[in-house]
Amino acid sequence: MASFRPSDAISAEPEEDSRADGAPTLPKLGPVGFARFLWRQLTSMRTALVLLLLLALVAVPGSLIPQRTSNPNGVASWQRDDPELFRTLDSLGLFSLYSSPWFAAVYVLLFVSLVGCILPRAKHHIDAMRSRPPRTPARLSRLVAYTEASTPLDVETAVAVARDTLKKRRYRVERYGDSISAERGYLKETGNLIFHISLVGVLVFVGLGDLLGSIGQRVLIEGQPFVNVQADYDTFTPGAWIDPDTDLAPFSMRLDSFEDRYSFADNRWNPEKFTANMSIREPGGDWQPRVLEVNSPLDIGGTQVYLLGNGYALDVTVRDPEGREVFSQPVPFLALDNNLMSMGVVKVPDGLSEQIGMRGFFYPDPYARTDGTLGSFQPMITDNAIVTLLVYSGNIGLDDGSDSNVYSLKTANLTELAGRDDPLTLAVGETVDLPNGLGTIELNKVVRYVGLDIHRDPVQGLVLVFTLLAIAGLLAGVMVPRRRVWIKVLPAADGSRVEYAGLARGDDAALPAEVAEIVRINTEALERRMTT
């Protein structure tokens, strides 16, 4: 009995004092004894509690310091602003706190402590469910809601009635002498155990999901096909236990068109709805139209596709002075503000007399601000839409991979050919000359693109199952009261004396009311027995 709960749990029974002779015995701990001592410390309630609070505490810095997983731009700006501090914090793992060893140390210790606590408790609980309710205490008068009543019935009949009463109230009953011992609410402990075991399940499958899943991003421009292979992703993070060559679901998809809806309120354009009309093709099938919206991902053979971003892509063609095409493709521009004023980079590594890079700003509905710069009135594209281009020449970093980011252009070592004061400006369908007679650039058309997240997590359903189990267990654990009730019958001069009392196991404010109710029901039953 003494070992089923940590010794410092309030509901645990006091341990028997082994030092009956009163002499202080100092612990003599061999390696096994020491291990046992450590284990007892780790699985004590106090340790579990401290670890819980520690877990809350160590989770906090992750909200103050940007995390690589949730805020990579924030991490980059910390690195830029204070490289020294960044190195120190990074060596402590603070930018990927939740996968850092010391965060893991806290939750692993917590879960070891939890398992160490649960296993003996589960064993005890199973034993308790198999065994009989405990013996009736000698003196009920010291327990909760002690009640005495008298009845003219004889002892044997009164005991039988009491047994019936308690059984009908769904207690497990056992007769000891002329008393009935009853217990109910085993579901409370069952729920408690299920809750804690399910948390272990959640942790295990969250971890497995990391190992067995994959996450990737792709900017998909209208009309372009995407095939679900690693090479077709912009970024791809596979789990450690998967083989991207064989484990990715075979399908293709394509963005057919994109619709957005904005409304003007509170002095700005507010997005209301984004709809991507996609086509999906699975092996052996034809292209099937599917609608993808925010909050409504596509599920394609166990892989989920999410709509996380959108913008304009500019289809440009660059020609050399002889009119030969050296570059022709749509370039996605990233939104800079709510009205989709966007920025993009056009890099032309080959075909012209020198490498050129262009940084473009796109205005769906341009207007001149008072300071002379341009802005966009609204996110919807109009006939006035223009792009302005700053042109640079030199090593644009594609050959040696020093600047392979398609959205950025490092201009420090480049020569400016067209700057802020004299940018190239062109509208849809227009062609302008590049500086220095390098050639021409034409804006063919403007199309839409979507930013997609493509996820696969084969075990996330199991995470949900264990989460729901944990909730069910929690509800049972807090809502079901565990209680014992005794009815004892003693011979009296003119019949019997009936004693009632209860014992709460855990917080149970309703126990006195429950005993009173049993007294009422049993008294009625006794009276009914008298009249028959």
Q: What is the dihedral of CA 349, 353, 357, 359, to 10 degrees?
A: -140
Binding string, residues 208-227; x marks residues near another protein by CB under 8 A:
-------x------------
Burial of 248 (0-12, 13-18, 19+ CB in 10 A): buried
Instruction: Answer yes or no whether residue 48 interacts with another protein by CB under 8 A.
Output: yes
Binding string, residues 8-27; x marks residues near another protein by CB under 8 A:
xxxx----------------
Q: Which of 89, 122, 145, 396 binds another protein (CB under 8 A)?
A: 145
Our CB check for another protein shows the closer of 421 and 494 to be 494
* 478-514 b/e (C-beta count within 10 Å ≥ 16 → b): eebbbbbbbbbbeeeeebbbbbbbbbbebebeebeeb
Q: Three-state SS for 385?
A: coil
Amino acid letter, residue 449: Y
Distance CA 304, CA 299 (A): 5
Instruction: Answer yes or no whether residue 277 interacts with another protein by CB under 8 A.
Output: no
Our CB check for another protein shows the closer of 393 and 522 to be 522
Q: Are the CB atoms for 363 and 383 separated by under 8 Å?
A: no
Instruction: Answer yes or no whether residue 378 interacts with another protein by CB under 8 A.
Output: no
Amino acid letter, residue 202: V
Instruction: Answer yes or no whether residue 474 interacts with another protein by CB under 8 A.
Output: yes
Distance CA 219, CA 311 (A): 10
Instruction: Answer yes or no whether residue 481 interacts with another protein by CB under 8 A.
Output: no
The closest of 278, 269, 213 to 452, measured between CA atoms, is: 278
Our CB check for another protein shows the closer of 444 and 467 to be 467
The closest of 440, 409, 411, 446 to 427, measured between CA atoms, is: 446
Instruction: Answer yes or no whether residue 146 interacts with another protein by CB under 8 A.
Output: yes
Instruction: Answer yes or no whether residue 86 interacts with another protein by CB under 8 A.
Output: no
DSSP label at residue 435: G
Q: Which of 42, 69, 200, 395 binds another protein (CB under 8 A)?
A: 69
Q: Which of 26, 84, 509, 532 binds another protein (CB under 8 A)?
A: 509
Binding string, residues 309-328; x marks residues near another protein by CB under 8 A:
xxx-----------------
Residue ranges in 445-464 that form contacts with another protein under rule CB under 8 A: 453, 455, 460, 463-464
Instruction: Answer yes or no whether residue 337 interacts with another protein by CB under 8 A.
Output: yes
Only segment of 62-70, 221-229, 278-286, 352-360 that touches another protein (CB under 8 A): 62-70
Distance CA 319, CA 322 (A): 8
Instruction: Answer yes or no whether residue 147 interacts with another protein by CB under 8 A.
Output: yes
Residue ranges in 250-269 that form contacts with another protein under rule CB under 8 A: 263, 265-266, 268
Residue 286 backbone class (left: φ over 0; alpha: ψ -120 to 50; beta: rest): beta
Residue ranges in 156-195 that form contacts with another protein under rule CB under 8 A: none
Question: How far is Cα of residue 326 from the mean position of the Cα atoms in its chain?
Answer: 47
Q: Three-state SS for 131?
A: coil
Instruction: Answer yes or no whether residue 108 interacts with another protein by CB under 8 A.
Output: no
Tokens 């009935």, residue located: 180
Instruction: Answer yes or no whether residue 505 interacts with another protein by CB under 8 A.
Output: no
Only segment of 148-156, 167-175, 243-251, 363-371 that touches another protein (CB under 8 A): 148-156
Instruction: Answer yes or no whether residue 137 interacts with another protein by CB under 8 A.
Output: no
